[in-house]
Amino acid sequence: MSKRVLTTESGAPVADNQNSASAGAGGPLLLQDQHLLEKLARFNRERIPERVVHARGSGAYGHFEVTDDVTGFTHADFLSETGRRTEVFVRFSTVADSLGGADAVRDPRGFAVKFYTAEGNYDLVGNNTPVFFIKDPIKFPDFIHSQKRDPFTGRQEPDNVWDFWAHSPEATHQVTWLMGDRGIPASYRHMNGFGSHTYQWTNAEGEAFFVKYHFKTNQGVRSLSGEQAAEIAGKDPGSHQTDLLQAIERGVHPSWTLYVQIMPAAEAADYRFNPFDLTKVWPHADYPLRRVGRLVLDRNPDNVFAEVEQAAFSPNNFVPGIGPSPDKMLQGRLFAYADAHRYRLGVNHTLLAVNAPKATTAHNHGRDGLMAANAQGRHAKNYEPNSYDGPVETGRPLSAPLPVSGHTGTHEAPAHTKDDDFFQAGELYRLLSEEERQRLVANIAGGLSQVSRDDVIEKNLAHFHAADPDYGRRVEEAVRALRED
């Protein structure tokens, strides 16, 4: 069987791929060696800017199968009947570190699901925690700057991390999650996932509901201690990638059961917490979990760069029956994520195989731009409306309209009866066992004790005292003991 001929990118056959063209046997290399220049130029451009956040990630393909009827709450086609299967691509990631960082670190994990539905791609972009550090997107760049490597020392600085949290009391709930036992998952397979934000579902009758997504791992939750994580990160910085790859390759297909909490839209205004505040959860006693289906991952990508690094998720990729809520952080992400991909990958990134619709075809007038591969034919018109049989609008909104009122301007979110920055952090602390509380306090004190400014330490201690007196007392005593050593 004859082998295929190696060619240049223009298709010309390559005579010698072992030796560069030179002026004589020992002479300098020649500028005319097109194959050499093409290889080196492409090599120089093999990498693209990494994500500012969620840079280090892993991914896999699989499917989502509906197991329970939710048609009373949404008319989304991929959720329209039990047994319905939809192809998915899932990307997991750490948040703060760079592409070269380790997997086994104390950090939230991204949990992003792309559903390739018959009505277009639906992206559910969440984390492995149900809450986040901030509630307004205007603070997001500052938050990430505080968590990233310091521009002078080149490493993550406790002074920066805890200084931001000291001035952001709403972070107390997420800090309690992060510093607790689930702050370092043992693997991507052994952690839960959350939509985190509040979203809107709309049924066929036009009734609106607000929902929160919960993916519960069927492998069981497993986490690492700080000591275990340090050892694993030293031996295999890509430990989570290794685990996910090898599990799927040997036929052990990780799965999650999807549940949702459902709130009738009319109940949102008078709920005791602001239901659109990303730093808050909805207690299950108020809105129980309702099972929806099962997410299974069963195929590894063939090329990590093409399919994981170039995978683009955006929370504004909705389908009919699903839409946004007034959650401020979600509203900010609707723009920011898509814009980040236009910068990293180019305006035509949705044409890449991992991002393109699979169960339907995209028809629009987005044409030309860098790396355009969508010429659309000789006489195709790239405007609408037109008289040449172009795609037309449906006139059917994807979701119910959100009511608005008041004056434009910068506003704090309206306060609900239980809206403060510390109540739910205290509730979480009081749910922990004694052993879990000891580990939580030790993790917080280990970082906070490294802060150089006493006023920053005091501000943070005040947050833990406000969440629960015992919580604050223990953290204060542990910090004092470490600083006196």
Active site residues: 54, 127
Rounded CA-CA distance 149/3 in Å is 49
Q: What is the dihedral of CA 38, 39, 42, 47, to 10 degrees?
A: -170
Is the CB of residue 301 less than 8 Å from the CB of residue 307? yes
Is the CB of residue 457 less than 8 Å from the CB of residue 479? yes
**Amino acid letter at 456?**
V
Rounded CA-CA distance 420/26 in Å is 76
**Which one-letter DSSP state was computed for residue 185?**
B
Cα first-last separation, the chain: 73
Is the CB of residue 429 less than 8 Å from the CB of residue 471? yes
Alpha helices in 46-171 (DSSP H): 140-147, 158-166
H/E stretch holding 88 reads strand 85-94
Q: What is the dihedral of CA 289, 292, 294, 295, to 10 degrees?
A: -90
Upper half-sphere CA count for residue 338 (Cβ side, 13 Å): 14
Structure tokens at 59: 């991914």
The β-bridge partners of 164 are none
Q: Position of tokens 């995209």?
A: 362
The DSSP string of 237-305 is: TTHHHHHHHHHHHTT---EEEEEEEEEEGGGSTT-SS-TT-TT----TTTS--EEEEEEEEEE--S-HI
Question: Strands 255-264 and 208-217: what pairing?
Answer: antiparallel
Is the CB of residue 121 less than 8 Å from the CB of residue 341? no
Is the CB of residue 126 less than 8 Å from the CB of residue 193? yes
Provide CB contacts within 8 A for 345, sequence distance 6+.
Answer: 48, 310, 312, 352
Provide CB contacts within 8 A for 364, sequence distance 6+.
Answer: 391
SS3 347: coil
